[in-house]
């Protein structure tokens, strides 16, 4: 995994934090029911992307690892956007988990093996799973 690619991914993740904050401040009024439905859809997408990261192993290619990490980053950004209309307690859990993933991605160096990189990012997804479960229970996703 190249350092510049990892850096770009980390920068994109941090940039999405700023975007989420601005969306929360400027979001149109959406019914709580619609906001919760959008969040439930986003949670499904994040869980799917996190499963792809969890499936990485030492025989995975660098391209597969980067694709899985990019997919997770994109899915988390979508969840942040969807959650902009939820209560702040719900969005705080997402932000905390997303920050942990961002930190894990930025901690990956160009000299790390694919297994080391995958382990770093996989470990960060446990907090994300906990946050997703709490939010899913809070908005009563089916």
- pLDDT of the chain, 142 residues: tens digit per residue: 454 455 455 445 444 544 444 444 445 577 878 888 888 999 999 999 988 888 887 777 778 878 888 898 899 889 888 887 776 666 677 777 777 777 776 676 666 666 676 677 777 777 778 878 888 887 888 7
DSSP state for residue 130 in the 8-state scheme: H
Residue 90: per-residue pLDDT:
64
Residue 22: the pLDDT is 44
Q: How many CA atoms lie within 13 A of 23 on its CB side?
A: 18
Q: In the structure encoding, which two tokens stand for residue 77, read together?
A: 């950004």
Considering its fold, how many domains does the chain have in total?
1
CATH number at residue 56: 1.20.1420
Token look-up 């980390």 returns 10
Specify the pLDDT at position 17.
45
Q: What is the pTM of this model?
A: 0.66
d(CA 102, CA 79): 15
What angle is formed at CA 9 by the lines to CA 6 and CA 11, rounded to 5 degrees? 110
The domain in which residue 118 lies consists of: 3-24+32-139
């Amino acid at each position: 995994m190249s350092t510049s690619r990892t850096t770009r991914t980390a920068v994109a993740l941090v940039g999405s934090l700023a975007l989420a904050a601005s969306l929360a401040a400027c979001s149109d009024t959406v019914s709580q029911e619609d906001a919760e439905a959008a969040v439930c859809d986003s949670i499904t997408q994040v869980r799917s992307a996190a499963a792809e990261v969890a499936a990485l192993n030492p025989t995975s290619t660098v391209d597969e690892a980067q694709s899985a990490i990019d997919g997770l980053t994109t899915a988390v950004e979508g969840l942040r956007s969807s959650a902009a209309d939820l209560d702040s307690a719900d969005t705080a859990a997402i932000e905390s988990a997303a920050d942990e993933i961002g930190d894990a991605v930025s901690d990956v160096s160009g000299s790390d093996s694919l297994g080391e990189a995958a382990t770093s990012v996989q470990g960060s997804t446990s907090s994300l799973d906990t946050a997703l479960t709490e939010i899913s229970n809070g908005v009563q996703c089916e």
